[in-house]
Structure 1
């Protein structure tokens, strides 16, 4: 039980830190405000998010994880969307839309299969990874690794942020951000 709570806390804190650092970097780059002012606003936003997490019912009480067989579709969706975006030349939004639309028809193959009904969400999460620009995701290897990390986050966050829009995009953002940091540090 404690292990599951630690995994849930790790996932939430990781997403929160990545988004707050990114928000800080945007504010620092775009606005001519003192660092103190930017830091103050970020702390206010962080505290608001913390209280929202603490007092709103955004999660199930059970600790449940998505199966790896479902999460493996995240990098597949990422590679498919990336191929449409970069190699075919469609815009990123059109590529993600095509990927998501095609994924929505997968459950038609077998309407009784609970497994197949879970695949469209995973593929669509991968589409958010694959819709990144070529400057952000320079190689297919980058997209695959970002898709795998996002797939891991997808597995861990099954019961997190229920009913809140943007979960799949936030997971994709976190996966691409982590791989971008690793790419920057080591390559």
Structure 2
């Protein structure tokens, strides 16, 4: 039981860290976005509180630890890192390729491999060394195993695990995260890209029984290859937006129905835009954006359900 509480706290705190930064930036970016994100933040807190209550009510079975999953996280991270940094394929193409390979050849361990791939999605401009990568891999592997029974079926959870591992590594080694400027607006293009990424992944996974990792990685790879050509003005961000959306689309239909997924797909670009300038360079941020979007809609629907139940 303690493992669930530890992993719950780590994932929740890491996500809220990103959300708070997004709220702060949105105040400078747009007052409308600021108040909207405040609502989203309260909704996320309500969803987190509901998840916490579910943990307390859950059975007290011991959490088993699979060290092979830890090795898969390592393998996914290092192979993605090699493709990303040394072969200059970029983080999105690298992680997508590793996700596809892991899903096809090692389907039983595709989830930890994909989690590791997110750890390896770091920017070449981010100041780090090999020991930092190893530290993040170990932390991510342990969080992955400890969190298997929390936030079940929520898209973006794997990326949040990777993001959490890098935040902890950042705090331990006093690393410097990247800051950047954002010169885009939340236009219909970003909303459409996110909608396509989330819904196609969700449909492939939940209605065509495709592996969730393969569903996400395949759409992410296609998006990374064709979107910069189709929409050259958004070539620097469109692959990231569609990949973040595919992570949201990895949600199980037992947790998110199709109309909730549509709403989630419209939340993703908002969090993406408002978090773009901060906490850059480390892996897992796109997944955390997706996770925040999923819990935003979860919290709203849970709150509405609780209100209607009381009435």
With structure 1 as the length reference, what TM-score do the two structures score? 0.76
Local SS of the residue matching 1:72? helix
Q: Distance in 2 between matches of 1:41 and 1:101?
A: 33
Local SS of the residue matching 1:17? helix
Say if 2:15 is the partner of 1:19: yes
Q: Cα gap change, 1:22/1:9 in structure 2, threshold over 3 Å: closer, same or farther? A: same
Task: Give the superposed CA RMSD.
Answer: 3.0
Cα displacement (A) at 1:52: 4.6
Say if 2:179 is the partner of 1:179: no
Say if 2:145 is the partner of 1:155: yes
Cα displacement (A) at 1:87: 0.9
Q: Distance in 1 between matches of 2:102 and 2:37?
A: 41
Local SS of the residue matching 1:160? coil
Q: Distance in 1 between matches of 2:86 and 2:101?
A: 18
- The Cα offsets for residues 62-118 of structure 1, whole Å up to 9 and x where unpaired, read as 4333411221221221111011111100121100011111112334xxxxxxxxx53
Q: Corresponding residue for 1:93?
A: 92
Cα displacement (A) at 1:31: 1.9
Q: Corresponding residue for 2:109?
A: 119
**Is the 1:75–1:143 contact (alpha carbons within 8 Å) kept by the matching residues of 2?**
no
Q: Which deviates more from structure 2 when the two are superposed, residues 87-96 or residues 65-74?
A: 65-74
Aligned residues: 170
TM alignment of 1:24-35, pairs within 5 A: 24-32=20-28
Cα displacement (A) at 1:41: 6.2
**Is the 2:76–2:120 contact (alpha carbons within 8 Å) kept by the matching residues of 1?**
yes
Say if 2:150 is the partner of 1:129: no
Q: Corresponding residue for 1:105?
A: 104
Local SS of the residue matching 2:75? helix
Q: Corresponding residue for 2:62?
A: 63
Cα displacement (A) at 1:182: 1.7
With structure 2 as the length reference, what TM-score do the two structures score? 0.48
Q: Any gaps of 5 or more consecutive residues in structure 2?
A: 177-311
Q: Cα gap change, 1:95/1:160 in structure 2, threshold over 3 Å: closer, same or farther? A: same
Q: Any gaps of 5 or more consecutive residues in structure 1?
A: 108-116
Q: Which deviates more from structure 2 when the two are superposed, residues 47-56 or residues 170-179?
A: 47-56
**Is the 1:74–1:124 contact (alpha carbons within 8 Å) kept by the matching residues of 2?**
yes
